[in-house]
């Protein structure tokens, strides 16, 4: 479910956040489904439980998950939250596209990259 890339320069908790966010936004994790416990996921990934807790706390802050004391963490069922997160991702994309344009990257090259990424997702 979650794979950590140790060559990635980003902190591990950010990678965990990103992976869960993608699973939630694309519907792979259904609303109200339970996430792995902090300890079990930490053991599976061979990382510190505080790292998982930090990621879960951020996911909860973003409204993607909620916690029930003594029971665990669950995927939020609020569709508005998912739409809001998707909108934020689109805004990030626009920002990066503007940077590409300002850097002299032509639109055909950007479109080729776009097609390549979406073809990877299909396979």
C-alpha span between 57 and 27 (Å, rounded): 20
- Give the global pTM: 0.71
Its CATH class, for the domain covering 12-77, is mainly alpha
* pLDDT for the residue numbered 45: 94
**The pLDDT value given to residue 122:** 62
pLDDT for position 70: 93
Q: What is the reported pLDDT for 17?
A: 96
The reported pLDDT for the residue numbered 7 is: 92
- Tokens standing for residue 32: 């109200």
Going 111 to 5 to 87 to 91, the CA torsion angle's sign is negative
| Cα distance between residue 60 and residue 57, in whole Å | 5
Distance of alpha carbon 90 from alpha carbon 8, whole angstroms:
23
Residue count of the chain, please give it.
123
Question: Given this model, what pLDDT does residue 77 score?
Answer: 84
Per-residue CA distances from 100 to 58, 96, 108, 120 (Å):
29, 6, 12, 21
Kindly list the averaged pLDDT for each block of 10 residues, start to end, along the chain of length 123: 89 95 89 95 95 97 93 88 84 94 92 86 61
The residue whose two tokens read 């300890």 is 39
For 75, phi then psi, to 5°, come to -75, 135
């Amino acid at each position: 479910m979650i794979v950590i890339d140790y060559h990635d320069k980003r902190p591990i908790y950010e990678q965990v956040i990103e992976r869960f966010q993608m699973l939630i936004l694309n519907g792979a994790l259904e609303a109200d489904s339970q996430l792995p416990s902090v300890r079990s996921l930490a053991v599976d990934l061979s990382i510190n439980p505080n790292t998982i807790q930090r990621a879960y706390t951020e996911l909860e802050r973003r409204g993607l998950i909620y916690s029930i004391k003594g029971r665990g963490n669950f995927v939020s069922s609020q569709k508005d939250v998912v739409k809001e997160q998707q909108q934020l991702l689109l805004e990030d994309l626009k920002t990066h596209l503007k940077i590409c344009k300002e850097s002299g990257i032509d639109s055909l090259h950007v479109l080729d990259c776009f097609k390549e990424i979406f073809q990877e997702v299909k396979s």
